[in-house]
Amino acid sequence: MTPTLLRGRLLSFKRAPQSLDDTQSYLYESDGGLLIDNGLITAIGPYADVKANAPADVVEIDHRPHLIMPGFIDMHLHFPQMQVIASYAANLLEWLNTYTFPEECRFVESAHANRIATHFYDELIRHGTTTAVGYCSVHKTSADAYFAEAMKRNMRMVGGKVMMDRNAPQGLLDTPQMGYDETRSVIADWHGKGRNHVAITPRFAITSTPAQMEATQALAGEFPDLHIQTHLSENHDEIKFTCELYPEAIDYTDIYARYGLLGDRTLFGHAIHLSEREADAMSEAGSIAVHCPTSNLFLGSGLFPLKALARRDKPVRIGVATDIGGGSSYSMLRTMDEAYKIQQLLGERLNPLDSYYYMTLGNALSLSLADRIGTLDVGTDADIVILDAAATPAMALKMEVVKTLPEELFLLQTMGDDRAIVETYVAGVAAKVAL
Ligand SMILES: [Zn+2]
């Protein structure tokens, strides 16, 4: 592959920003050069320096005046819910039973799963997302479609076949043994192939019997390096129903803890209504609460106390995500706009540096994948997004008065969507232009 040199304004985080003035928390290069070779970032710095040391056959792409950032990471979404998005429902459980479960039944058919997988990756790339953590349906066919398409596009993706053996239509149920066996075959078929990571995926405690939770525990023991993903504490009716199903547990989080699923690779979607005890337990285990703001507002689930959880004496690790199809946008920019508004309603401030940290390095750290993604560091994967804060006439007009980098980031987050994504590079290859 010919080496490529991207020129533009580079922005990459080094650690979580402490405040809006924390310029030490990120690297910013106003006329930067980013050298890419063989899918990896091989040099970063002032354009003149990187250019001077670049190979003679380098191909230059001038992205000035746009921002060059690590590709966005989406920590939680549902691949079989692309046609569930925008479904009118009163709350989570009605939404699941009326729209989501019937739609997921269709993924038993490979043709349907393959067709939706194509659209799924198109939308991720269109919105600047280069890594996502997805739930497939209960059917192995859906996981095959998900990972085959990821491999075709050379994307670093995490995902798993959902395990669920009760409280759903027959067509969506496996058994403890089937869930175990099929998860093992998804791991054998896909984990480590291309850039794929398989996650152990019990949907949530409502749809898994204790026997299935035991099977999940066995998988987690056999494959300790794999991520585990599930849902936790999304709305009050769900919490009540879940705790009734596991009366021996002291609270919702304790259900997962009892089956050995509370660890530093466990991603809990939502985790909105945690008690202090649950937050302590999450913190001690290093588990991740994945905030899905558009979904939480859309389903009326509640206001996630992001800032409060992050600044506890025992802080909870946090990720951010779209949660398609409960979520209402594929855009991580739209997602962080809603995250900002939720903190506003809670009397908290989420500053724009925080937002971009969470979408990139923060999520990469939460996935224990920061050695590969989430920054523009040399040696990491060349998964990159190019952002234009003047992408629409209204944004361009506002840009006339924007003076600082945080102001520009905030404008992008407040008004931006897929139109603000100029290009998405996947392992060094321009992928959006090809859509
Ligand atoms: Zn979800």
Asked if 368 contacts 426 with a C-beta cutoff of 8 angstroms, the reply is: no
Residue 422 Cα to ligand 1 midpoint, Å, equals 28
Q: Give, in order, the Cα–Cα distances in Å from 391 to each of 378, 416, 425.
A: 29, 8, 18
Task: Say how many Å lie between the CA of residue 87 and the centre of ligand 1.
Answer: 15
Express each pLDDT in 120-129 by its tens digit. 999 999 999 9
Residue 292, phi then psi, degrees to nearest 5 = -125, 80
Residue given tokens 């525990």 in the structure block? 217
Q: How far is the CA of 17 from the centre of ligand 1 (A)?
A: 28
302: tokens are 């509640």
Distance 12 CA to ligand 1 centre (A): 28
How far apart are the C-alpha atoms of 18 and 351, rounded to whole Å? 10
Residue 160's H or E segment, with its range, is strand 157-160
**Distance in Å, CA 394 to ligand 1 centroid:** 33
Burial class (CB in 10 A: 0-12, 13-18, 19+), 102: middle
The 10s digit of each residue's pLDDT in 7-54 is 999 999 999 999 999 999 999 999 999 999 999 999 999 999 999 999
In angstroms, the CA 380 to CA 40 distance is 6
Average pLDDT over residues 223-238: 97
Taking residues 307-316, report their average pLDDT: 98
**How high is the pLDDT of residue 97?**
93
CA 81 / ligand 1 centre spacing (Å): 10
Tell me what the pLDDT averaged over the chain comes to.
97
pLDDT at 196 over 90: yes
CA of 78 to the centre of ligand 1 (A): 6
How many Å lie between the centroid of ligand 1 and the Cα of residue 86? 15
- The DSSP secondary-structure symbol of 381 reads B
Query: Residue range 134-151: average pLDDT?
Result: 98
pLDDT-based confidence at residue 1 (cuts at 50, 70, 90): confident
Neighbours of ion ligand 1 (CB under 5 A): 269, 323
Q: What is the pLDDT of residue 434?
A: 84
Band of pLDDT at residue 294, cut at 50, 70 and 90: very high
Backbone angles phi, psi at 75, to 5 degrees: -85, -5
CA of 3 to the centre of ligand 1 (A): 39
Q: Which of 328, 390, 380 is nearest to 85 (CA)?
A: 328
Looking at the predicted structure, is the pLDDT value of residue 168 above 80?
yes
Q: What is the pLDDT of residues 338-384, one digit of tens each?
A: 999 999 999 999 999 999 999 999 999 999 999 999 999 999 999 99
Give the number of other Cβ atoms within 10 Å of residue 37's Cβ: 18
Categorize the per-residue pLDDT at 435 as very low, low, confident or very high, splitting at 50, 70 and 90: confident
Distance 22 CA to ligand 1 centre (A): 33
- Residues in the chain, how many? 435
> How far is Cα 247 from Cα 252, in angstroms, rounded to an integer?
10
> What separation in Å is there between the alpha carbon of 325 and the centre of ligand 1?
8
| φ, ψ at 271 (rounded to 5°) | 50, 50
